[in-house]
């Protein structure tokens, strides 16, 4: 039982990553922006900032961000 608890603790901390501040995050390249019309400011709307952590091992792949079921961008780690 102790071995299982130790394995569980190590497996949960092995994928830990560091958060990124808004100033450290790099912008998404235009080649990975899928719906650029969603990125322009429109009247009576707010703004939304989405950023990813640094990423580690399995989280090194991109993730797709959706707004109202429309794919907007693919984010890589620290973007």
Q: What is the pLDDT of residues 23-78, one digit of tens each?
A: 888 888 999 999 888 878 888 888 888 888 876 655 668 889 998 899 999 988 88
Whether the pLDDT of residue 4 is over 80: the answer is no
**Distance from C-alpha of 7 to C-alpha of 1, rounded to nearest angstrom:** 10
Q: Could you tell me which residue, 20 or 69, shows the higher pLDDT?
A: 69
Query: Over the stretch 50-59, which tens digit does the pLDDT of each residue have?
Result: 888 876 655 6
* DSSP letters spanning 4-48: HHHHHHHHHHTT------TTTPPPPPGGGBS-GGGGS--TT----
């Amino acid at each position: 039982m102790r071995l299982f608890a130790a394995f569980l603790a190590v497996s949960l901390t092995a994928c830990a990553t560091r958060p990124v501040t808004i100033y450290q995050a790099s912008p998404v390249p235009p080649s990975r922006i899928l719906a650029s019309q969603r990125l322009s400011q429109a009247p009576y709307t707010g703004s939304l900032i989405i950023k990813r952590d640094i990423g580690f091992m399995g989280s090194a792949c991109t993730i797709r961000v959706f707004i109202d079921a429309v794919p907007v961008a693919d984010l890589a780690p620290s973007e």
